[in-house]
Amino acid sequence: MAEPIRVVVTGAAGQIAYSLLYMIARGEVFGKDQPLILHLLDIPPMVGVLEGVVMELSDCALPLLRKVVPTTDPLVGFKDVSAAFLVGAMPRKEGMERKDLLSANVKIFKVQGEALDKVAKKDVKVLVVGNPANTNALVCANYAPSIPRENFSAMTRLDQNRASSQIANKLGVPITHVSNIIIWGNHSSTQYPDASQGKVLINNEWKSVADALGDNAYLEGQFIDTVQKRGAAVIAARKMSSAMSAAKAACDHMHDWWNGTAPGKFVSMGVFSDGSYNSPKDVVFSFPVEIKNKQWKIVENLSVSSFGQTKLDLTAKELQEEKNEALSVLDS
Ligand code: NAX
């Protein structure tokens, strides 16, 4: 069997981590032959809860799990890690302005970027889940100059999974028969869920989703609305934000980054923009990507309708504003 790799989950005492740690430790991400040492990072008030999580992981008797390292010190949490799931973030509290939330998180992700820079492996793959995920990933990468910025990404896979599931339900096909649904831009309500490149397997033949549906009004209306508001719908029903599905999406994201995508298939990831599709350069923007040898590449030359371009511009504008706000917090 291979040597164990070290994987860190931050926010390890929180609700997403509660599902995520089990999925990782079962081998869902790095493979059933890859032993793991799990680092669990949280903040001092959560130490007691963290102890409970460590007990439960032990009680799961998982064959791949060689060791668990609970800590509140980022320099211990990020030491020699090959993969990092940055889930922990300051939650939005009542009366908190968006700006206050951004400001608190910018500071957290600066500290974590600096710690990754000092002690993580230089080829570490960093997935930011904690919100505002895109801008947190940007800040984190900026404070880790010795790690290539291609190694930082933000999660929009939950939005992609939600979107694919909507299409599968609408067409009455299994989820495995839907592919290439795109999430563009920010993981926020301005995201653009786009099924125009989507494919669906019907009668053993891959067809375009638009042709199979024959209903463009749905794809440009209700479909987008449902996906954009799905997080709020889950909160309204569960009285808590998405956790199981967020954990599954984080596993899917890292799994595909680690193992690659099948030929002709693409997935959405928030990555540093090179200006593709008229997006602003140097913001973390969700694009369709293909992955080979652990390197992602933006899928180029997809046709974008004028409707789609308006949506892309809107989410781009928000990301540019978030970046400017983050920079002004860091300057102050
Ligand atoms: P919880 O509040 O249950 O857990 C967050 C955990 O992070 C807590 O244990 C907290 O103590 C810890 N934490 C706070 N600051 C920390 C720091 N500096 N270092 C380490 N740990 C720290 O939230 P949960 O439901 O698990 O959600 C976590 C984050 O994911 C939130 O920011 C949430 O908004 C975000 N989400 C992002 C999604 C995405 O698609 N990108 C979807 C799901 C989720 O809403």
CATH number of the domain that residue 186 is part of:
3.90.110.10
* In a shared domain, residues 174 and 269: yes
Tell me the CA distances in angstroms from 69 to 65, 84, 272, one per residue in order. 11, 14, 31
162 annotated to bind ligand: yes
For the complex shown, is ipTM > 0.95? yes
> Where residue 25 sits, what CATH number does that domain have?
3.40.50.720
Please compute, for residue 328, the number of CA atoms within 13 A of its CA located in the half-sphere on the CB side: 9
Which residue range forms the structural domain that includes residue 93?
A: 5-154
* In a shared domain, residues 210 and 255: yes
Residue 260 lies in a domain: yes
Which of 130, 154, 178 is the last residue in one of the domains?
A: 154
Taking the C-alpha atoms of 5, 10, 14 and 19 in order, what is their torsion angle to the nearest 10 degrees? -30
Whole-angstrom distance, CA of residue 290 vs CA of residue 296: 6
pLDDT tens for each residue of 161-215: 999 999 999 999 999 999 999 999 999 999 999 999 999 999 999 999 999 998 8
* In a shared domain, residues 170 and 49: no
Protein residue whose Cα sits closest to atom 3 of ligand 1: 14
Cα angle for residues 255, 134, 5 (degrees, 5° grid): 35
pLDDT tens for each residue of 98-146: 778 888 999 999 999 999 999 999 999 999 999 999 999 999 999 999 9
166 lines ligand 1 (CB under 6 A): no
Dihedrals φ, ψ of 191, to 5°?
-50, 150
Beta strands in the chain (DSSP E): 5-10, 36-41, 65-71, 83-86, 125-128, 152-154, 178-179, 182-184, 192-194, 199-202, 205-208, 267-272, 284-292, 295-298
Protein residue whose Cα sits closest to atom 35 of ligand 1: 130
